[in-house]
Amino acid sequence: MSMTVEALADWLGGEVIGDRTIVVEKVQSLSKAGPQSITFFIGDRNHIQLKGSEAAAVLVDCKLRAALKVAGYSPAFILVEDPKNAFLEVAAHFAPPRARPPIGISTDAYVNATAQVGKGTNIHPGAHVAAGVVIGENCDIHPGTVVSRGCQLGDEVVLHPNVVLYENTIIGNRVIIHAGVVIGADGFSYRPVDGRHERIPHYGNVRIEDDVEIGACSTIDRAMVDETVIGQGTKVDNLVMIGHNCEIGRHNLFVSQVGLAGSVTTGDYVVCAGQVGIADHIHLGTRSVVGAKAGVHKDVPAGERQIGVPAIPEAECKRVVMAQHKLPEMRHQLKALERQVEELSSRVAQLLSQGTVAKDATQKAA
């Protein structure tokens, strides 16, 4: 699997600065790369990690060509248009993914006789496929996964261990669902009846469109009626909760611990950073961005960036934060002003008192 720097540069269409004969055997991050490793660098010419790197070779941006020739760093450099993408190509060479085993339907899995399973699909030991399920071609259903009655899966779907699909869940093509995900549980909906909480039944389902990826231990609730929808190409991180009747647009990004209450809707290309909380029936417009830990209590217009609790436009929130940093100083100023007002009030009272005494004396003299 080893390659020389020259061979790597030829493969990537890059230019070498330094020793072309160095042999590379593995990929590592910039801070941990050793004398047999290739890594990548994105940053300015003075980056301290680049100066101290022990890597055999570093993939860097073509724009740094002049700076590298002047600086005389020790690693060999391969100049490319996009160092990160080039590094991913090299990583796939040195650490290729394991081949998909063609195991078919394991005899230790339960597959109901009425289920339809496409060709090339693997159903691993311990998986459970219920009645009326339709599974497309070249899917992987891993151990401990439960596919309940009436579910439909497209082609090339991967359900990692211990995924649970409740009844009538619909999954598109090339969807990846990581371990421990639960899709289609009832939403958190109750009504008070005679002093107790009575559960509101849910009759809808969940539909996940093509090319979606759901991170480990996330949950997506079924709709009370109609569908909870996750749009095409959306990527959901670990530990994300999406409530009932939510309708998520295409190519959204939800980072870890995002929580969406019921009936939230989003446009396309929406980004919610870690631990964002969104109240029910809120709409996030297309290409809007909500910063980490923000609490969203009203609609976010298309293209707007919001942060804070409660969430407000980014520029406004920054002004608020800057003002908060000045509160101790403002408190001292306020106390000083209070003292000045007290002194002025005291002097005014004295002057008024003196004027009253003088007036009384004048009247007596008259």
Tokens 């699997």 sit on residue:
1
- Residue 224 structure tokens: 């009370």
Query: What string of DSSP letters covers 95-108?
Result: SPPPPPP---B-TT
Q: Considering 142, 160, 244, 283, which one is annotated as catalytic?
A: 244
User: What token pair was written down for 249?
Assistant: 């647009």
**Alpha carbon separation from 69 to 49, 59, 60, 81 (Å, rounded):** 17, 14, 13, 17
312-313 sheet: strands from edge to edge = 122-123, 140-141, 158-159, 176-177, 213-214, 235-236, 253-254, 271-272, 289-290, 305-307, 312-313
SS3 sequence of 196-238:
EEEECCCCCEEEECCCCEECCCCEEECCCCCEEEECCCCEECC
Token pair listed for 129: 């496929």
Structural contact between residues 123 and 106, judged by C-beta atoms closer than 8 angstroms: yes
Strands 170-171, 152-153: pairing is: parallel
Q: What does the block give as tokens for 188?
A: 């958190």
How many CB atoms are closer than 10 A to CB 312? 19
Q: Residue 125: what are its φ and ψ, rounded to 5°? A: -55, 140
- Does the active-site annotation cover 244? yes
Cis-peptide, bond into residue 310, ω within 30° of zero: yes
| CA–CA gap between residue 291 and residue 226 (Å, rounded) | 30
Catalytic residues: 244
